Amino acid sequence: MTACGRTIQAIVVAGDGIVGRSAALAFARALPRARITILRTATDSRSLVEKVPSTLPTVHRFHAAVGLDELELVTSGIAVHRLGSRFDCWSTSGGSWFHSFGEHGLKAGAVPFHSVWLRAWREGLAKPFEAYCMASMLAAAERFSHPAEDPASPMASFLYGLNLDPQRYHMRLDAALPELNRISGTIGDIERRQDGGIAALLLEDGRRIAAEMFIDCTGPDAGILSRIDDRFEDWSAWLPCDRIAVTAGPARDVQPFDTVRAEQAGWRQDVSLPYQSISLHLWAHRHLPDRADGAVLRSGRRPQAWVGNVLAIGDASVFLDPLHGAGLHLAHSAILRALDLMPGRDMHPVELNEYNRRTRLEHERVRDFLAVHYLRSGREDTAFWCEMARTAPPDSLSRTLEQFSRRGRLPMFDEESFAQDSWLAALFGLGVLPEAIDPVALGIDLDRAQEGMAALADRIAVLCERVPPYPQVLAQLSAQRSSAGGARRIPAMRSAGEAMGGSPFSARSK
């Protein structure tokens, strides 16, 4: 950290939605001596993070950092566990497949499992790829358990995210916030510094809010950052859905996964929560011009999320299709990265350049992962899917697809948000298969490999039968919390937060 005399003392967080409150909570915990002000602004109806329930497993790392407890969130009806998503009609087969957060199979020495699986699959000797993934099979059986401590067990081979009730999560973040200064108002103008940064926000009612750092959580228009840098990279060619409608309905049977169904000109996601169900409908307006509802989307990102003393987070930094629920992950990741690289009052370019470099890489790889679902679905039954099949991928995704399509090799980049197994689950689920078998897999005894794969699939199936149905798990967790008087520990199991290493700035928060 910078010497005490140069540390940032005054921070304004503009926007008090989920992203703004997450940022305020994390910065207040990590920088207890800083004076933090939350500027309450009108919520942008297009802000996806405020609407989308789904999260990635990294949500637990952020919760560990800010002191939010998984057991409390689940037993109070704010969250349910999310092993992944079931994709329906999202390939030429028209069938279903799971994308789950976990390892698939076991390595055959130095040979990747997916190469062995592909060889066996071509010979008709293998089950679908997901049959060798504990998380996928638990989800298919609508069962859930926390990962086991024994690293040799398939029950230790997965992670999980959460599906969050946006309104209840919003309120829980508010309750966790310390006593911070809060101001309501609308930004009218800014007062610049000589170095090009911002000295103060000028509200429409005449008030002036000065600070040394401004965190822009105002939504897609980036109400602060856009006043000093209005550049925007449009990614709608690869993420074509430009309308979203969100509907809430009565609660249904809660499941530890969500369902994503491809439709004529987009897709629909259904999420079951304890107190309500939420459906997201996304489509490309040019292919459904008669549908008049929905908020307007424009996928893309700000080339530099941190400019001078202004840091844009969430939808103000990157605005992506909510497929897979990566929006909150990107916001949380940005917050933790900013704290890890926190500069002094001078906002030295060394820290800012590194932050922007890593952020750009992260955004691009999430874009690529989402885009492959559109560009390689194999569907050509409507004009929308035909158009996507003809669209050239971005360069970084082209590199991935070229390597994979040749012999099943999957190059991983810096700042990946989705693990290799996630990429493999998506590619195989979409029906993208390599042209040839990796030579290293040809040396494997196929009969022995098939026996080992069958034994693993059988073991996973037996373990699934021993795990209770998800509603029973929720009841057990509620009883556990009640009997322990609200105790926060989940005994004999690893939560995803523990598996990912706990708080990333626990020492700094002291």
Rounded CA gap, 345 and 7, in Å?
Answer: 6
Statement: the pTM of the whole predicted model exceeds 0.85:
yes
Q: What is the pLDDT of residue 7?
A: 87
Q: What is the pLDDT of residue 272?
A: 96
Q: What are 332-386's pLDDT values in tens digits?
A: 999 999 999 999 988 999 999 999 999 999 999 999 999 999 999 999 999 999 9
State which amino acid sits at residue 383: A
Q: What is the pLDDT of residue 196?
A: 86
Kindly state the DSSP code that residue 130 receives in the 8-state scheme: G
Q: What is the pLDDT of residue 110?
A: 82
Q: Are 47 and 223 in contact (CB under 8 A)?
A: no
Q: What are 294-336's pLDDT values in tens digits?
A: 999 999 999 999 999 999 999 999 999 999 999 999 999 999 9
Which tokens hold the place of 187? Answer: 């930004």
Q: What are 178-237's pLDDT values in tens digits?
A: 889 999 999 999 999 988 899 999 999 999 999 999 999 999 999 999 999 999 999 999
Q: Are 115 and 287 in contact (CB under 8 A)?
A: no
Task: Report whether pLDDT(510) > 70.
Answer: no
Helix (H) or strand (E) holding 423: helix 420-430
Q: What is the pLDDT of residue 485?
A: 65
Can you tell me the mean pLDDT for 18-38? 96
Domain 8-101+159-436+494-499 has CATH 3.40.50.1820: no
Rounded CA gap, 390 and 369, in Å?
Answer: 18
Confidence of residue 152 (pLDDT cuts 50, 70, 90): confident
Task: Report whether pLDDT(504) > 90.
Answer: no
Task: Report whether pLDDT(398) > 80.
Answer: yes
Task: Report whether pLDDT(484) > 90.
Answer: no
Return mean pLDDT, the chain: 91
Q: What are 254-265's pLDDT values in tens digits?
A: 999 999 999 999
Can you tell me the mean pLDDT for 164-169? 97
- Residue 125's CB is within 10 A of a number of other CB atoms, namely 16
C-alpha dihedral (285, 287, 289, 290), degrees to nearest 10: -120
Task: Report whether pLDDT(87) > 90.
Answer: yes
Can you tell me the mean pLDDT for 31-44? 92
Q: What is the pLDDT of residue 106?
A: 82
Q: What are 450-465's pLDDT values in tens digits?
A: 999 999 999 999 999 9
